Amino acid sequence: MTDLSAFPVTARWPARHPERLQLYSWPTPNGVKVSIMLEETGLPYEAHGVNIGRDETWTPEFLSLNPNGKIPAILDPDGPGGRPLALFESGAILQYLAEKTGRFLPADPAARYETIQWVYFQMAGVGPMFGQLGYFHKFAGREIADKRPLERYRAESRRLLGVLDGRLEGRDWIMGDAYTIADIALLGWVRNLIGFYEAGDLVGYGDFTRVAAWLERGLARPAVQRGLTIPPRD
């Protein structure tokens, strides 16, 4: 029987199936990357809701897994060498799961690095910029009279959508015919920008027809639909 009791996170979020991969997450654009990937791969896992609205990422138990206090994080009882592996940062988790399962990351070395490059594009560009736009457009930042931060993140988000739109010219997915972790990393963020953040008109989303078609293709995948709601909000 697998024993994960050495990991303090399991004291607050007990593992009912410790032999399965443990996911600690919340259905946000960063969180759903991992639940979508897990649904796509079919790996057995157990999802734990870490309610960010109640600051649960800042509890000692969660911080023991991710000192950066952010979802998502995983604990894989069957990590490298058969030993448990704890991991945070959604891009690293996507790469780990892709390598563990041999899915959604091309085997060819050049294509593999190209895919990882687009994952970094999401991690370092799209996520932070769209996130700031959400803050200044929809959340507390909208009260700020100085509109320069809003304009800065609006322009940068629009520019990034243009980069993505250019990449999708003549391609169904970011890597062409192959649906990869680069798509999984980006789908939830674009959906969130025009959905929850209500920033579609602001960034002129209608100009990016290839992005819109790609998002529709992604959202048509049953595993994406399931992953978007895991873990359920309580």
Ligand X SMILES: N[C@@H](CCC(=O)N[C@@H](CS)C(=O)NCC(=O)O)C(=O)O
Residues that bind ligand X (CB under 6 A): 28-31, 52, 57, 70-72, 89-90, 123
Identify which of residues 10 and 122 has a Cβ nearer to ligand X in the complex: 122
Sign, Cα dihedral of 181, 185, 190, 192: positive
Sign, Cα dihedral of 29, 84, 182, 126: positive
**What is d(CA 30, CA 36) in angstroms, rounded to the nearest whole number?**
11
Identify which of residues 18 and 34 has a Cβ nearer to ligand X in the complex: 34
Distance of closest approach, residue 145 Cβ to ligand X, in angstroms:
25
> 67 CB contacts (<8 Å, ≥6 apart)?
none
Distance of closest approach, residue 177 Cβ to ligand X, in angstroms:
27
Distance of closest approach, residue 225 Cβ to ligand X, in angstroms:
19
Q: In this structure, are strands 21-25 and 45-49 parallel, antiparallel, or unpaired?
A: parallel
Distance of closest approach, residue 78 Cβ to ligand X, in angstroms:
22
Give burial (CB, 10 Å; 0-12/13-18/19+) of 138.
Answer: middle
Q: Which residues of 95-118 are buried (b: 16+ CB within 10 A; e: fewer)?
A: bbbbebeebbbbeeeeebebbbeb
Identify which of residues 18 and 157 has a Cβ nearer to ligand X in the complex: 157
Identify which of residues 67 and 81 has a Cβ nearer to ligand X in the complex: 67
> Which residues, in sequence order, are bridge partners of residue 86?
75
Identify which of residues 26 and 214 has a Cβ nearer to ligand X in the complex: 26
Distance of closest approach, residue 134 Cβ to ligand X, in angstroms:
10
Distance of closest approach, residue 102 Cβ to ligand X, in angstroms:
23
Q: Quick check: 203 and 161 in contact, CB under 8 A?
A: yes
Distance of closest approach, residue 48 Cβ to ligand X, in angstroms:
13
Identify which of residues 48 and 70 has a Cβ nearer to ligand X in the complex: 70
Q: Which residues of 145-182 are buried (b: 16+ CB within 10 A; e: fewer)?
A: eeeeebeebbebbbebbeebbebbeeebbbbeebbbbb
Identify which of residues 71 and 105 has a Cβ nearer to ligand X in the complex: 71
Q: Quick check: 119 and 181 in contact, CB under 8 A?
A: yes
